[in-house]
Amino acid sequence: MKKDEKACLVIGAGAGLGASLARAFAREGMTVCVTRRPRHLEALDDLVGEIEREGGRARAFGVDARNEEEMVSLVDRIEAEVAPLEVVVFNIGANVFFPVTETTTRVYSKVWEMAAFAGFLAGREAARAMKPRGRGAILFTGATASLRGAAGFSAFAGAKHGLRALAQSMARELGPSGVHVAHVVIDGAVAGAFTRENIPDYDAKLARGEILQPDDIAANYVWLWKQPKSAWTHEMDLRPWAEKW
């Protein structure tokens, strides 16, 4: 480990936004640590290989972000073996649709664990590493559901509201210590296989800029990390020009 090396941890590095975030921070010279649940770890091989072919550095970790012991161990391992954490991005989605009368306690609890409780564990461990150094950025990925609940999304909205509240509390607590905490509201459909299958006229809308591009979103996360302390953004909302809000 070289003296000036820095690490970025992306929790929830799927094929869409998560992968774009990893590539974006790798281009900033950081060693990017990407996570998926252990049974999906092989899905990160292509992303790690792509970053390395571009001259960057990346490592994949199989972690259940809802498990306290695993998250504590992950951050300790990165700090000891990779580099000091400069950026931690919590990017787990957990978007599901269930009418409230069909929302079981198992569904509600699982969505909360994935999108809210796991965010708390990630944020807490990131804070423990960054606060003594007086620097770093903790970035949370939110959604439209962070601001308003829609019919059929009671579990998702409840979890995302909780994550937003966590980010606000952490920002007020950690800002004076030099740690930048920000919450990014992704308000709109994000380009990818799921939206291609579910949005009519996908290609035409994509060409008109009516669907969010993961690389464009990721560029804003990098910008948040680069902001000077005199002008920090806590909450940023990103949406296509044609999105109603």
CATH number of 7-238: 3.40.50.720
Exposed, middle or buried, 235 (CB in 10 Å: 0-12/13-18/19+)?
middle
Strand partners of residue 180:
137
What's the alpha-carbon Rg for the chain, to the nearest Å? Answer: 17
Pairing of strands 7-11, 85-90: parallel
Q: What is residue 40's three-state secondary structure?
A: helix
pTM for this model (two decimals): 0.95
pLDDT tens string, the chain, 245 residues long: the values are 555 799 999 999 888 899 999 999 999 999 999 998 888 888 899 999 999 999 999 999 999 999 999 999 999 999 999 999 999 999 998 888 899 999 999 999 999 999 999 999 999 999 999 999 999 999 999 999 999 999 999 999 999 999 999 999 999 999 999 999 999 999 988 988 888 888 889 999 999 999 999 999 999 999 999 999 999 999 999 999 998 88
Name the nearest CA neighbour of 114 among 194, 35, 204, 227: 35
Domain boundaries, the chain: 7-238
Pairing of strands 7-11, 137-143: unpaired
